[in-house]
A and B are shown apart, each in its own frame.
Chain A
Amino acid sequence: MSEETFLSDDFLRQLIGVGDLDLVVGVPSYNDAKTIVSVLRAVEEGVLRNFRRERVVLLNVDGGSGDGTQEVLLEASSLAKSNESAFESLRTVRWITTQAAHNGSPAGMLRTILAAADLLHAKACAVIAASSKNATPAWVVTLLEPICRDKYDFVAPVYSRHKFDGLLSKNLLYPISRALYGKPIREMRASEFAFSGSLATHCLAQQEWQGEAFQGGAEMWMAMNAFTNSFRCCQTYLGPKPHQASGANVVAVVRQTVSGLFSCMESTESLWQAAAENAPLHTVGPDHDFSTEAIRIDRNKFLQMFKAGANELSGILEKLLAPATHAELMRLAGLDAAEFQFANSLWARVVYEFAAAYHRSVMNREHLVQALVPLYRGRVYSFITKHRSSDAAAVEADLEALCQEFANQKPYLVERWNLKEEGSS
């Protein structure tokens, strides 16, 4: 039986036209007509300034935009061909665009980029989202240089964010990747990252493209693939990341992220269950600070949703959690705002118990993950309230304490996780 091919004939034809090359810069897009051209121009400038002799393609992979993103791009690229660039290029720099595989899902976008990098034998590939309106030419070299020059396989970004931005990474992904894998990667769900050709080939060969692990966050999946398979990883400072209000997408984002995280944990359990030394991750670039960009967050709404969710889902939470944990949560749900504090220790315990329950398939996994959402909201409320007036050092110290808590409770996770094998709940 022939394997389903996910590359369209038109895209394949474009790849044939490009031929073997050194670098791919993938620019995934979805309804980014307003920003894609400026992002691509910044990328092109970065390439022309810093990789003048390399063979490069700028690859837009579109997730089925309805706002004319691809059309805008095609018009801009044909104008670019006819106008002289301010930057001299020895070679033809190609812009190509295609629809993402798998109906334009994020997984499909990344898979398409990986396929291009693999087929064209690229040495390195950077991914920069078309929505990143603050993308600069320097991003290209900052992402690609660790791979081209220092032979890293995966480069994760570090941003200057507002202290209340990227809370899912701060409160969940960062502490858990540190605790379980010894990899203190700050941004596991970043829209900018880079990888080597060999990592691309490795990831492309994985079977999980339709699975939960991948659907949960392509970037996170790729990062975890990198550091759980002994690829060399590092971080690089990209500068400020403007806040993008996720609003109503919080549920979807948390669901996807947590599903992906727990699935990855399942597939790598032998790795994280062994002791993981917390090795420092090489970070390129200056020490970063939190951005001072003002953002608006309705934290009271988070508390309301936590309370409502905890009460409505009490029966489900009782099945998922240890009795002490459940009791603590219900007590928390009854507190006034002034007294509310979702401690690091409780949060770590909640996450681990959910992970173990997911692994044991205590209930439908989608519903299970959905049940974590209001608890996450409670955690967010607590974090924001605690650090309303904190400076960067204080926030950083708290994050460090959180990571320590996750690390300390790792044996507890192992114990809960393995309950299934012992046939008891």
Chain B
Amino acid sequence: MALPTQAQWYKDCIIYQLHVRTYNDSNGDGIGDFRGLEQKLDYIQELGANALWLLPFYPSPLKDDGYDIADYTAVHPSYGTLDDFKSFLSAAHDRGIRVITELVLNHTSDQHPWFQEARSSRENPRRDWYVWSEKDDRYRDARIIFTDTELSNWAWDPVSKSYYWHRFFSHQPDLNFDNPAVREAVWNVMKFWLEFGVDGFRLDAVPYLVEREGTSCENLPETHEILRSLRRRLDEAYPGKMLLAEANQWPEDVCAYFGQGDEFHMAFHFPLMPRMFMALKLEDRKPIVEILHRTPGIPESCQWCIFLRNHDELTLEMVTDAERDYMYDEYARDRSMRLNVGIRRRLAPLLENDRRRIELLHGLLMSLPGTPIMYYGDEIGMGDNVYLGDRNGVRTPMQWAGYWNAGFSTADPERLYSPLVSNPVYGYQAINVDSQRRSPHSLLSWTRRLIQVRKSSPVFSRGSIEFLFPTSHRVLAYVRQFEGETVLVVNNLANTAQAVELDLRKYNGFIPIEMSGRTIFPRVGKLPYLLTMGPYQFYWFRLRRI
């Protein structure tokens, strides 16, 4: 059953990101699956999320956790069948939860039949579906993305005795988007899932679709034209669906992916994410304010997606060298925590399991402009295991309970797709959904309430933002407004109590009402409005004129 098409529904979402494999195992084989996920939809609904973003669940050799796709129109047998997916999708829609799936456009697995055919001979009809070269010296200006593992963007194919282009792992050859057949094939893949009823796609690695000599091979005009074409076809055939761009670029470059409102509906604001962590450590609003001031306006129909953590490393690509060094020194002193150009840790360990800081960052996530994305497990403060290699340490099984396999699976523990986190601080005995459900003061309960408050006003999802500049740079304060409603957000980024005076003369006569407890605060007057704030405390005030 499809959900009713509501204009710009994606702006009002709280997106919950997860991998099917990590969430819940229904058949005892140690691997999460769609039937298991369906069983947990009540939990997701209770949390307050109304959209799910699923990481790739397609057949794959799983050398890149499913981003190396070997079949675009099936479900990996470990996760179930297409019927299982259909049942899950229907159950999600019944609960008002939309489903966003992955579309990995840029590349396939080298095990995909398309590539197997392409490499089999130079005369094969699919030869031109990938990017080949006799030498490995073309497109020299393209950077290497996976710097820890790849030395080149070209890999030698011993079968067809030539080089093929890959921006990611060498087992992920890039598709050739200059080929119309490739573009048609991609559209057919989209149609396949749209016919099922999925509500949108997260398009992976979109900046890299097209290569041109003498360029960085990123964000090229031809890439945008291909994406606009896909969008046109989508709007025509499946109105009300959403495209979300994964473009890890500076804001001004990402904005191009919105087009004139005719390309992507949403895009991740990558540069904002590390700056939230930086601002917290620096105890200074500067990184956040500067990046948002630098962010150009976007078409009215478009929306940023903001996030704290996800399945990848906390990327430090879109920061300066000095900022990167600072982040490494402050958040990843142990080099085993660093991967590629980022930090492979979960939210709670990054914040040293400090409940106050975890709450503050969630407060920022839910109150800054954009659609928030929560990574599974962050709502209960799950930990990580940096020794699992690659980014697997942040993809451990969901911790449902304190008993056998954290309630994730009935399989033998050795059979789990990944070891559980089991240390005394973050282990499943200490951190799990069951325990936190019992307490109204747990992080889970608090997060649920926060989401409820956020959803109580469209200001957060659709409103403007105006920063205030109190003399203390440790305080980040801003006003959100939408259709006559005004919310004041004040965040203390410091570990120490702060007294802050806010210039609220514009709101002279308004009464601030704190939104979580609905407490009335003194009326705003002409003098600076004094607030005293505890360490890492934040307030959301609805400003009412009564």
Please give the residue numbers on chain A whose beta carbons come within 8 Å of chain B beta carbons, in ascending order.
13-14, 16-20, 52-53, 55, 88-92, 94
Q: Which residue of A lies closest to B496 (CB)?
A: A20
CB contact under 8 A between A16 and B284, given known A53-B326, A88-B322: no
Report the interface size for chain B: residues with CB under 8 A from the other chain.
21
Residues A91 and B286 in contact in the complex (CB < 8 Å), given A16-B499, A53-B326: yes
Most chain A Cβ neighbours within 10 Å, of B471, B474, B499: B471
Closest to B320 in A: A88
Complex-state Cα separation, A91 to B472, whole angstroms: 12
Inter-chain contact A19/B326, CB cutoff 8 Å: no
In the bound assembly, the distance between CA atoms of A91 and B323 in angstroms comes to 10
A273 to chain B, nearest CB (A): 47
Given contacts A13-B501, A88-B322, A90-B322, 16 further A-B contacts (CB under 8 A): A16-B471, A17-B471, A17-B472, A18-B471, A19-B473, A19-B474, A19-B494, A19-B498, A55-B283, A88-B320, A89-B286, A90-B278, A90-B282, A90-B287, A91-B284, A91-B473
B77 contact set on A, CB distance < 8 A? none
Kindly list chain A residues whose C-beta atoms are within 8 Å of the C-beta of B278. 90
Q: What residue in chain B is nearest A94 (Cβ atoms)?
A: B473
A89 to B326, CA, bound (A): 12
A87 to chain B, nearest CB (A): 10
- Nearest opposing residue in chain A for B528, CB measure: A13
Which chain B residue shows the least CB distance to A89? B286
Residues of B contacting A18 with CB < 8 Å? 471-472
Residues of A within 8 A of B286 (CB): 89-92
Residue of B nearest to A17 (CB): B471
Is the Cβ of B498 less than 8 Å from the Cβ of A90?
A: no
Residues of A within 8 A of B389 (CB): none
Cα A53 to Cα B282 in complex, Å, equals: 8
B413 within 8 A of A: no
User: A19 — which chain B residues lie within 8 A by C-beta?
Assistant: 283, 472-474, 494, 496, 498
Output the least CB separation between A207 and chain B (Å).
31
Could you tell me the distance in whole angstroms from the C-beta of A379 to the nearest C-beta in chain B? 51
Can you give 22 A-B contacts (C-beta < 8 A)? A16-B471, A16-B499, A17-B470, A18-B471, A18-B472, A19-B283, A19-B474, A19-B496, A19-B498, A20-B496, A52-B322, A55-B283, A88-B322, A90-B282, A90-B286, A90-B287, A90-B323, A90-B326, A91-B286, A92-B284, A92-B285, A92-B286
**How far is it, in angstroms, between the C-alpha of A88 and the C-alpha of B496 when the chains are bound?**
26
| Shortest CB distance B322–A (Å) | 6
Q: Which residues of B contact A55 (CB under 8 A)?
A: 283
B181-224: contact bitstring with A at CB < 8 Å (1 yes, 0 no)?
Answer: 00000000000000000000000000000000000000000000
CA of A17 to CA of B323 in the docked complex: distance in angstroms?
Answer: 24
Q: How far is the CA of A344 from the CA of B501 in the complex (A)?
A: 62
B280 to chain A, nearest CB (A): 13
Inter-chain CA distance A187–B12, complex, in Å, is 67
In the bound complex, CA of A253 to CA of B474 (Å) = 43
In Å, the complex CA distance between A310 and B450 comes to 85
Give the 3 A-B CB pairs with smallest separation, nearest first: A17-B471, A92-B473, A17-B472
CA distance A19 to B474 in the complex (A): 8
Residues of B within 8 A of A17 (CB): 470-473
Question: Is B322 within 8 A of A13, CB to CB?
Answer: no
| Contact of B282 with A14 in the complex, beta carbons under 8 Å | no
- Which residue of A is nearest B473, CB measured? A92
User: Which of chain B's residues 436-485 have a Cβ closer than 8 Å to chain A?
Assistant: 470-474
Docked Cα-Cα span, A331 to B283, in Å, equals 70
With a cutoff of 8 Å between Cβ atoms, the chain A residues found around residue B284 in the complex are: 90-92
Closest to A53 in B: B326
B322 — which chain A residues lie within 8 A by C-beta?
52, 88, 90
Instruction: Give residues 494-527 of B contacting A (CB, 8 Å).
Output: 494, 496, 498-499, 501
A55 to B493, CA, bound (A): 14
A176 to B284, CA, bound (A): 48
Docked complex: B249-304 residues within 8 A CB-CB of A: 278, 282-287
Min Cβ gap A269→B in Å is 44
Residues of A within 8 A of B470 (CB): 17
Instruction: Say which residue of B283, B471, B474 sits within 8 Å of A14 (CB atoms).
Output: B471
Q: Among A16, A17, A20, A52, find the residue whose CB has the most chain B CB atoms closer than 10 A.
A: A17
Distance (whole angstroms) from the CB of A109 to the closest CB of chain B: 22
> A13 near B326 (CB under 8 angstroms)?
no
Expressed in whole angstroms, the Cα–Cα distance for A55 and B326 within the complex equals 14
Inter-chain CA distance A18–B499, complex, in Å, is: 11
A116 smallest CB distance to B (angstroms): 14
A59 → chain B closest CB, angstroms: 14
Query: How far is A17 from B477 in the complex, measured between Cα atoms in Å?
Result: 14
A17 to B284, CA, bound (A): 12
Report the bound CA distance from A92 to B286 in whole Å: 6
How far apart are the CA atoms of A17 and B282 in the complex, in Å? 15
Chain B residues, Cβ within 8 Å of A90: 278, 282, 284, 286-287, 322-323, 326
CB distance from B54 to the nearest CB of A (A): 37
**Distance in angstroms between the alpha carbons of A20 and B493 in the assembled complex:** 13
Give the residue of A13, A52, A88 whose beta carbon is less than 8 angstroms from that of B471.
A13
With a cutoff of 8 Å between Cβ atoms, the chain B residues found around residue A89 in the complex are 286
Across-interface contacts of A53 in B (CB, < 8 A):
326
Q: State whether B472 touches A16 (Cβ < 8 A).
A: yes
Q: A20 contacts which chain B residues (CB < 8 A)?
A: 496
CB contacts (< 8 Å) of A88 on chain B: these are 320, 322
Complex Cα distance, B285 from A91, in Å, reads 8
Residues of A within 8 A of B320 (CB): 88
With CB as the reference atom, state the residue of chain B lying closest to A52. B322
Neighbouring A residues of B287 by C-beta, 8 Å: 90
Nearest CB of B to A398, in Å: 50
> Could you tell me if A91 and B501 are in contact, using CB atoms closer than 8 angstroms?
no
Task: Tell me the smallest distance from the CB of B264 to a CB of chain A, in Å.
Answer: 29
- What are the interface flags for B320-339 relative to A under an 8 Å C-beta threshold, 1 for contact and 0 otherwise? 10110010000000000000
Within 8 Å CB of A94, what residues of B?
473
Cα distance, A89 to B322, chains bound together (Å): 9
Which A residue sits closest to B285, measured CB to CB?
A92
CB proximity of A123 to chain B, nearest CB, Å: 16
How distant is A375 from chain B, measured CB to nearest CB, in Å? 52
Chain A residues near B501 (CB-CB < 8 A):
13
